[in-house]
Amino acid sequence: MDRIPILRMGEFLLVTIQVDMHDQLALTLQDDLAERISATSAKAVLIDISALDMVDSFIGRMIANISGLSRIMDAETVVVGMQPAVAITLVELGLELPGVSTALNVERGMQLLRARVAAQ
């Protein structure tokens, strides 16, 4: 497992994080995402973290980095499927992810993004 797949769904990109992230995997994901946003003119990146039971500051920073990267490339970031314990941990760590939208699941995340794209 050397890279996390990025799935294209129309104007959006979907990333499902299932495995423990280590430095190289996180860097590869950021590089791949930057390339795919550019290649597909994607409007948004959905990051599904429903498989994560816990989260540490490394993952928190990675999400913040992806969000910053997306914003520079004119795409939004929506984190979906966050478990309650993960939300509590992120707040306790002081990682409140400014500029990152959240949604309960992928479907609601897509609805949110479609509404925003339509309003533009």
Binding site for a copy of itself (CB under 8 A): 1, 3-5, 7-10, 14, 16, 18-20, 48, 50-51, 81, 105-107, 110
Q: Which residue has the tokens 């490339």?
A: 73
Q: In angstroms, give the least distance from the CB of 15 to a copy of itself.
A: 9
* 91 Cβ neighbours under 8 A, 6+ residues apart: none
Q: In angstroms, give the least distance from the CB of 10 to a copy of itself.
A: 7
Which is closer to a copy of itself, CB of 94 or CB of 118?
118
3-class secondary-structure state, position 16: strand
Q: In angstroms, give the least distance from the CB of 94 to a copy of itself.
A: 27
Q: In angstroms, give the least distance from the CB of 3 to a copy of itself.
A: 7
Which is closer to a copy of itself, CB of 19 or CB of 72?
19
Which is closer to a copy of itself, CB of 10 or CB of 99?
10
Q: Measured in Å, how far apart are the chain's first and last C-alpha atoms?
A: 38
How are strands ordered across the β-sheet holding 6-9? 6-9, 12-16, 44-48, 76-80, 101-103
* 111 Cβ neighbours under 8 A, 6+ residues apart: 103
Which is closer to a copy of itself, CB of 32 or CB of 65?
32
